[in-house]
Amino acid sequence: MTPAARASAAIEVLADIAQRKRPASEALKDWGLGHRFAGSGDRAAIGNLVFDCLRKRASCAAAMGEETPRALVLRTLVTGWGMTPDAVVALCDGSRFAPPPLSETELAGVKRHLPDDAPAHVRGDFPDWLDAAFVETFGERAAAEGAALAARARSISGSTR
């Protein structure tokens, strides 16, 4: 599979998770069963992208201005996978199996930097309902501690690109 097809697959899996309110692991398993042509490396890459999107949901949604599966994947490719906004534009060319081209709003979102005064749960990528507990426990370090937890979870999961 091409990187563009992997991005499209991640969008499809995230949409399934959101629509059917189901665990990511089940959605990924079902996607794999329905797409037997995808090799183990492709399935691993898609799973890593899906889980990275879920881990970075707060900051990605804030930067993109929406929390759609497409917005989460596009932003995660930049902030978590090291792609440049121009590389994401090239990836999303609308060709066979590739995501459709970016809108002006999406392009602005993948280029946007989160402000330093963004809420701690956004900068730290933890759920907003944990904000009070994180601030009470970590004070000014709440965002940094949340980001460190997400990074640790990523390293434990063995996420590779």
pLDDT band at 158 (very low <50, low <70, confident <90, very high): low
pLDDT of residue 156: 74
Alpha helices of 3-160 — where are they, by DSSP H?
Answer: 3-20, 24-34, 40-55, 57-64, 69-79, 85-91, 104-111, 120-123, 131-138, 142-157
| Cα separation values, 8 from 30, 122, 146, Å | 15, 25, 28
Domain residue extents for the chain: 3-112
> 86-142: per-residue pLDDT in tens?
999 999 998 999 999 999 999 999 999 998 889 999 999 999 999 999 999 999 999
* Top-confidence residue, 70 or 153: 70
| Cα separation values, 63 from 20, 90, 118, 130, 152, Å | 25, 20, 10, 20, 22
Angle at CA of residue 100, ends 96 and 103, nearest 5°: 165
In 3D space, the residue among 105, 44, 99, 53 whose CA is nearest the CA of residue 80 turns out to be: 53
> 11-65: per-residue pLDDT in tens?
999 999 999 999 999 999 999 888 788 888 899 999 999 999 999 999 999 999 9
